[in-house]
Amino acid sequence: GLFGVPMRTIVFRRSDGQSTACARIVMKGMKSITRGGVVTRGQPVYYGRLAYRLVLDCAARGISCRIPPSVSISDLFPCLVGRVRGENLGIEVRDTNGLAGLDPRLPVVLYNFTAGERRRALVRTIASLFPPQAPCWLLAGSGQCEFEPRETTVGELEPELMRADAAVTLLLPARA
| Boundaries of domain holding 142 | 73-172
List, in order, residues 6 or more apart from 88 with CB less than 8 Å away: none
Residues 85 and 107 in one domain: yes
pLDDT of res. 2: 47
Q: What is each CA distance from 13 to 124, 158, 160, 166, in whole angstroms? A: 21, 21, 21, 10
Residues 41 and 120 in one domain: no
pLDDT of res. 75: 64
Residues 117 and 156 in one domain: yes
Digits of tens for pLDDT over the chain (176 positions)?
445 555 666 656 556 666 677 777 777 777 777 776 666 655 555 666 777 778 888 889 888 877 765 556 666 677 677 777 777 677 888 878 778 888 888 888 888 787 789 889 999 999 999 999 999 999 876 656 666 788 999 999 999 998 887 778 889 988 87
Query: Do the domain assignments include residue 34?
Result: yes
**Beta strands in 2-158, from DSSP E residues, in sequence order:** 35-37, 64-66, 92-95, 108-111, 135-139, 150-153
Residues 44 and 79 in one domain: no
The DSSP 8-state label assigned to residue 73 in this structure reads: H
pLDDT of res. 13: 56
Residues 61 and 77 in one domain: no
Number of alpha carbons in the 13 Å side-chain half-sphere of residue 116: 1
Q: Which run of H or E residues covers position 21?
A: helix 16-30
Query: Do the domain assignments include residue 81?
Result: yes
Q: How many domains does the chain have?
A: 2
